Chain A
Amino acid sequence: MLARRASAFARSFATVVDSAGVKVAAVDNGQPTAAVTFLVKAGSRYEPKPGVAHALKNFAFKSTAKRSTLGTVRESELYGGVLSASLSREYLALTSEFLRGDEPFFVDLMSSFLTSGKFLRHEFQEYVIPVVEAESTAASQDPATRALELAHSLAFRSGLGSSLFASPHSHVSLDDVKEFAARAFSKGNIAVLGTGIDSTALTQLVEKALAGASIGSSAVESKPSTYFGGETRVESHGGPETLFIGFGAAGPADPALAILSAHLSPQSSVKWSQGLSPISGAIPQGTSVQSVLMPYSDATLFGLLVQGPSAEGVKEAAKVATKALKESTGLKGDALKMAAAKAKFAAASSLDGRDGIFSTLSTKVFANSEPSIEATLASIDKVDAAAFSKSVAAITKAKPTFVAVGSVQTLPFADEVGL
């Protein structure tokens, strides 16, 4: 019985079905709750003007032709569901989590926003703008977020380089948001992901919900990404001193970078130990180094985020991290196997949670690629020492993306940390 269930799980992991132009993928592992995400290609890389995608995200679950903002909230409270909207550089995700059996209501609720959102002017002023401003302010107070935003704009300039947050000086009008929504909410741009729900049931619901919809079939456009790189320094107070040392590459995600990230990441697998990463033992106490791997549909940004209370400590840690990064081209044998195993575990364990499943599916569902975990694990397994060394050499040869946030007088420059 157990073996049968296990094989059923392996087989049934998220088959992508095309239902009248909308891609539907669902996986049912027998969770007690279900969740459905409407994934729209309306991330910041597609926005016509800075901040429009951020404003559109905050318009989620506001008045539609079917129910008012209050009705949306009260009715989903009666069902005990949780509604959330999140924005990435590529996608706007509308998610609702609910008890099994309530899916007709929640699919209808989310699809009604996509098909008949009212975008009222007073809601824009009363609900959307204050939240957009608060989120932007909060993001600007966090040095790590700020460093990553700056790193993206240096690395990719336009497209993926555009910020997730509306800057306080961007003038986003309601018409901008409406126009962007009208372009983005079309069938080719929408994918529906579900967990804890049967694929055929979800397909039927989505078909029904989008049947009478007058949504167009235009596609949003964004230039293919190119990696540029560069250096910037931004004064900031009150947070830890922060450095971001990154490299990027255009093109599809390279499994070698997942191994590199696993190799460098100083997070130990055992509590109260330093871990075996070349960075973890050598950095000064109090400073931290995080490896950051951000794969997108047509580019990847990989980097090390160095943070610490003092600029001197951060400088030391950055030197160590850069040295480790440069030396990792020679990684082979057991060390490579260990890093690959760590990368494989990270990829597989992310599928245990709902967020992990959605983020894994979201990269695959639009690309029409095999969404199973086996394909990912096999691609990591295939990387040998020569291929790894070639990939790492290729990515580190490009111009680095170097961002310093904090006291710019004392934080090091790129050439001072060995880049």
Chain B
Amino acid sequence: MNALGPSLAPYIRSSRTLKKYVAPIAHWYADLMGYRKMGLKYDDLQVEENPEALGRLTPRETYDRAYRFKVASDCDLHHHPLPKEQWTKPEDDKRYLLPHIANVLKEEEERATWDTMTVQRK
């Protein structure tokens, strides 16, 4: 387990039958969570434990992320979600941060491996 938390998603995605049944529920649940009504994307909810990954976003992605936060905190201030046409569309709700976090975790893991390895001469 790592900073991304445990996930059954890879297993479910690998099975076609499971995916067929679970996907609609997943989409329904993602809508139900309400973050899309504030104009946010799922990866905006990721705990900022990984400043290195955030630093790897392109300047455009960083700007857009900050803009979404501003919009969301404005909504919060008004105790009212955005008008429906401004909600994040499901197709725009991409995991833009996930690959960067995964890479950083992989690098950390690699460093730990190199740090703790024992060398054996063949």
Binding site for B on A (CB under 8 A): 68, 70-71, 74, 78, 121-122
Contact = CB atoms under 8 A, between A and B. Distances in A.
B13 interface: no
B114 A71 contact: yes
A121 B99 CA distance: 14
Interface string B26-63: 00000000000000000000000000000110100000
Given A68-B107, A70-B107, A78-B119, A121 B56 contact: yes
A122 B55 contact: yes
A70 B114 contact: yes
The A interface is mostly helix, strand or loop, or mixed, namely helix
B85 interface: no
Interface string B104-122: 0001001100100001000
Contacts, number: 14
13 contacts: A68-B107, A68-B110, A70-B107, A70-B110, A70-B111, A71-B110, A71-B114, A74-B114, A78-B119, A121-B56, A121-B58, A122-B55, A122-B56
Nearest to B104: A122
Which 7 residue pairs spanning A and B have beta carbons closest together?
A122-B56, A74-B114, A70-B111, A70-B110, A68-B110, A78-B119, A70-B114
A74 B119 CA distance: 12
Contacts of A70: 107, 110-111, 114
Given A70-B110, A70-B111, 12 more contacts: A68-B107, A68-B110, A70-B107, A70-B114, A71-B110, A71-B114, A74-B114, A78-B119, A121-B56, A121-B58, A122-B55, A122-B56
Nearest to A78: B119
Nearest to B58: A121
Contacts of B114: 70-71, 74
B122 to A, nearest CB: 12
The B interface is mostly helix, strand or loop, or mixed, namely helix
Contacts of B58: 121
Interface string B3-26: 000000000000000000000000
A71 B113 CA distance: 10
Contacts of A71: 110, 114
Contacts of B119: 78
A74 B112 CA distance: 12
A101 B55 CA distance: 41
A415 B113 CA distance: 66
A191 B111 CA distance: 34
Nearest to A69: B107
Nearest to B119: A78
Contacts of A121: 56, 58
A78 B58 CA distance: 35
Contacts of A122: 55-56
A73 to B, nearest CB: 9
A242 B114 CA distance: 49
A71 B107 CA distance: 10
A71 B111 CA distance: 8
A71 B119 CA distance: 14
A121 B100 CA distance: 11
Nearest to A71: B110
A74 B110 CA distance: 11
Contacts of A74: 114
Nearest to A73: B114
A209 B121 CA distance: 24
Nearest to B53: A122
A368 to B, nearest CB: 41
Interface string B71-91: 000000000000000000000
A68 B56 CA distance: 16
Nearest to A121: B56
A68 B107 CA distance: 8
A163 B111 CA distance: 37
A78 B121 CA distance: 11
B88 to A, nearest CB: 26
A78 B119 CA distance: 8
A70 B111 CA distance: 7
A306 to B, nearest CB: 47
Contacts of B110: 68, 70-71
Most buried by A among B58, B111, B119: B111
Contacts of B56: 121-122
A121 B57 CA distance: 9
A312 B58 CA distance: 54
A165 B112 CA distance: 36
B17 to A, nearest CB: 35
A122 B50 CA distance: 14
A206 B13 CA distance: 43
Contacts of B55: 122
Most buried by A among B55, B111, B114, B119: B114
A91 B35 CA distance: 54
Contacts of A68: 107, 110
